[in-house]
Structure 1
Amino acid sequence: MLAKATFAALLSVMSLPALAAQCDVTVEGNDAMQFNTKEIIVDKTCTEFTINLKHTGQLPKAAMGHNVVLTKEADKQGAATDGMAAGLDNDYVKPDDARVIAHTPVIGGGETTSVKFDVSKLAAGENYAFFCSFPGHWAIMTGTLKLSS
C-alpha cells in the first residue's frame, strides 16, 4: 500500500507543469528617497518584463517625485544629468535618449505606474542600472538589473 501511495505521489509530481517565469517586479519608492530593492533579476525566458513603481510616500511629484529609468550602468550618470535638464514635463528623461532602455513617468505619493520593455534589449553579462532621475535622487535611489543566466 505504501508503495502505491509513493508511486501515485511521484506520478502527480511528474505531471506538474513547469513554473512560469516571473516577468514583472514591483519597486517601491518613499519620501526618504529610498527604493525597497537594490537588485532586479530578469528571467531570460521572459520576452517582456514589467517594472511596476509604487510611491509609498505622501509628497506630491513636484516635491518628491519618483520614476524608474533603466540604462546600462555606464550610461547612468549621463542619462541622469541630461534628464535633469529635460525637466518634469519630460519625466526627467531627455526625449529620445538612446541610452534609456525603459522608463516610467514621474509619480507622487500614493500613485503607481509601470513600464514594460522587450527583454531582447538586454544582453547577458552586461551591467544595467535602474534609478530615479528626479533631480538629486539618482545617486541614492539606484540599483542593478541583471539578466538571469
Structure 2
Amino acid sequence: MMLALVMLFLPVLAQASSCELSIDSTDQMRYSKAELTVPSDCETVTLTLNHTGSLPKTTMGHNWVLVETDQLSALAKDAMAAGPANNYVPSDDERVLAATELVGGGESTSVEFSVADLKDKDLSFFCSFPGHFALMKGKFIIE
C-alpha cells in the first residue's frame, strides 16, 4: 500500500523539483550556470539566487532578471539607471518577465514566476548591477 502511494505522488514530486532552479553568483562576476532549463509542463518556476561571495551588495551585488533575448541589451541599459533602491530593475517595465532582489555576499533570494506565456519565446537572464551584464548572462530554456 505504501509503495502504491509513493508511486502515485512521485510524478508530482519530480515535477516540483524540476520546476525549482538554483543558481550561484560570485565576487568574480560570474553565474554558476550559463543555461537554465525547465520542462514545458511547469506552470510556475521558483528560482533561487545564492551569492556565494563575501562582498556587500553595495559593491558586488547580484540579481537575476529574465527577459526576452531581443530586449536584453536595452533592458540592461535601462536597468542600471533604475538605481539601487529599485534593485537596478525598472519598476513596472513589461520587458522584465521575472527578477530577484539584489543580494550581497552570503545572501540568497528567490522569485516565483509563471512560465505559461513564455513557452515559445527566446529567453535570457542577466545581472543588472552596473557593469555586470557583459559577464553575467545566460539562456533560459523551456523544453
1:100 is paired with a residue whose SS is coil
Residue identity opposite 1:56 in structure 2: T
Q: Counterparts of 1:45 and 1:137 in 2: how far apart (Å)? A: 32
After TM superposition, the score normalised by the length of structure 2 is 0.89
Could you tell me how far 1:54 is from its partner in structure 2? 0.2
What's the counterpart of residue 124 of structure 2? 129
Structure 1, unpaired ranges of 5+: 1-11
Residue number among 20, 28, 34 corresponding to 1:32 in the alignment: 28
Residue identity opposite 2:84 in structure 1: L
1:59 is paired with a residue whose SS is coil
Q: Counterparts of 1:16 and 1:147 in 2: how far apart (Å)? A: 26
Percent identity over paired residues: 43
Matches within 5 A, 1:1-149: 16-17=7-8, 19=11, 20-21=14-15, 22-124=18-120, 126-148=121-143
Query: Does the aligned pair in 1 maintain the 2:46–2:110 contact within 8 Å?
Result: yes
Matched residue pairs, number?
135
Residue identity opposite 1:30 in structure 2: T
Q: Counterparts of 1:108 and 1:70 in 2: how far apart (Å)? A: 19
2:93 is paired with a residue whose SS is coil
Q: Counterparts of 2:38 and 2:7 in 1: how far apart (Å)? A: 24
After TM superposition, the score normalised by the length of structure 1 is 0.86
Alpha-carbon RMSD: 1.6
Q: Counterparts of 2:135 and 2:92 in 1: how far apart (Å)? A: 25
Could you tell me how far 1:144 is from its partner in structure 2? 0.1
2:71 is paired with a residue whose SS is helix
Structure 2, unpaired ranges of 5+: none
Query: Does the aligned pair in 1 maintain the 2:40–2:119 contact within 8 Å?
Result: no
